[in-house]
């Protein structure tokens, strides 16, 4: 029986080594960490600095008014009064600083508006919703709804009383936003004795050319060359004026 000191079991030695390594590692790592990770105050200060270093993308709702009074005025009393300009036109800080070279996109596409208006049960009750598949398909939404004042198209109530069919046809056509009286000068008396006092009707191709002729100053309607398009025929011999469809193959 030897009287050499009792050896620690191997397992305990290994455990001791592991503990020492871990403790050393923690001490080293903690001492190497930058102060800003360990100190909450420094941490916040660093976060603020980091966020401030990002380039600002949005210009905010106010500056647009400096240069786009018309759109701002149109929107401020309409249904979209609470939808900000940049919701639809994207972040536009760059544009406000260099309006000529940097143009924000305008969402003219039919796909865009249903992001908010496609029927979805989870939307708030009463929020105006449509089914994009069946609601006046194919045409861009902005054919019938002005994006800055998107009220559904209406006609003067009195015409509807007697010409409801024409009104219904027109309200889903590319001419939805044109008032009846754009094309028919209507004396008040027509509403009382309609068969004796009649409104005017366009009588010449030049009438439609005001908006569709290639020299027309009216912005928006598609243009044709009146001298050659449809030749000698009246426009409405080929295009029903209350539903001027164009077939495209």
Distance CA 129, CA 133 (A): 12
Q: Is 123 in the site for ligand HEC (CB under 6 A)?
A: no
66 binds ligand HEC (CB under 6 A): yes
**DSSP-derived secondary structure letter, 42:** H
Please tell me the distance from the alpha carbon of residue 248 to that of residue 15, in angstroms, as a whole number.
82
Let me know if 201 is exposed, middle or buried by CB neighbors in 10 A (0-12, 13-18, 19+).
exposed
Binding of residue 46 to ligand HEC (CB under 6 A): no
Could you say which residues in the range 124-163 bind ligand HEC, by CB under 6 A?
Answer: 127-128, 130, 132, 135-136, 139, 141-145, 147-148, 150, 152-153, 155-156, 158-159, 161-163
Residue of 36, 119, 149, 199 interacting with ligand HEC (CB under 6 A): 199
94 binds ligand HEC (CB under 6 A): no
Q: Which of 220, 249, 222 is closest to 235 using CA atoms?
A: 222
d(C-alpha 170, C-alpha 164), whole Å: 10
Write out the binding residues for ligand HEC, residues 221-240 only, by CB under 6 A: 221-222, 224, 226, 229-230, 233, 235-239
Bridge partners (DSSP) of residue 224 are: 213
Among 42, 56, 218, 227, binds ligand HEC (CB under 6 A): 218
**Residue 220 in the binding site for ligand HEC (CB under 6 A):** yes
Question: Closest approach of Cβ 193 to ligand HEC, in Å?
Answer: 9
The answer to whether 165 contacts ligand HEC (rule: CB under 6 A) is: no
DSSP H helical segments within 54-92, as ranges? 64-67, 69-76, 85-89
């Amino acid at each position: 029986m030897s009287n050499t000191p009792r050896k620690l079991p191997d397992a305990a030695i290994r455990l001791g080594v592991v503990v020492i390594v871990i403790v050393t590692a923690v001490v080293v790592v903690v001492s190497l960490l930058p102060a800003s990770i360990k100190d909450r105050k420094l941490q916040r200060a660093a976060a603020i600095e980091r966020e401030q270093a990002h380039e600002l993308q949005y210009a905010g709702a106010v500056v647009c008014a400096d240069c786009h009074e018309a759109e701002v005025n149109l929107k401020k009393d309409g249904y979209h009064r609470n939808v900000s300009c940049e919701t639809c036109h994207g972040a536009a800080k760059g544009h406000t600083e260099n309006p000529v070279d940097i143009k924000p996109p305008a969402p003219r596409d039919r796909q865009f508006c249903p992001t908010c208006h496609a029927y979805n049960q989870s939307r708030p009750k009463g929020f105006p919703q449509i089914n994009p598949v069946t609601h006046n398909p194919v045409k861009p939404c902005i054919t019938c709804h002005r994006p800055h004042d998107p009220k559904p198209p209406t006609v003067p109530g009195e015409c509807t009383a007697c010409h409801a069919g024409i009104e219904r046809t027109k309200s889903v056509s590319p001419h939805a936003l044109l008032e009846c009286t754009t094309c028919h000068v209507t004396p008040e008396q027509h509403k009382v004795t309609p068969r004796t006092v009649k409104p005017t009707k366009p009588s010449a191709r030049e009438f439609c050319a005001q908006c569709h002729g290639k020299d027309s100053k009216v912005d928006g309607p598609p243009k044709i060359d009146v001298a050659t398009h449809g030749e000698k025929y009246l426009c409405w011999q080929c295009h029903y004026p209350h539903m001027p469809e164009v077939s495209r193959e």
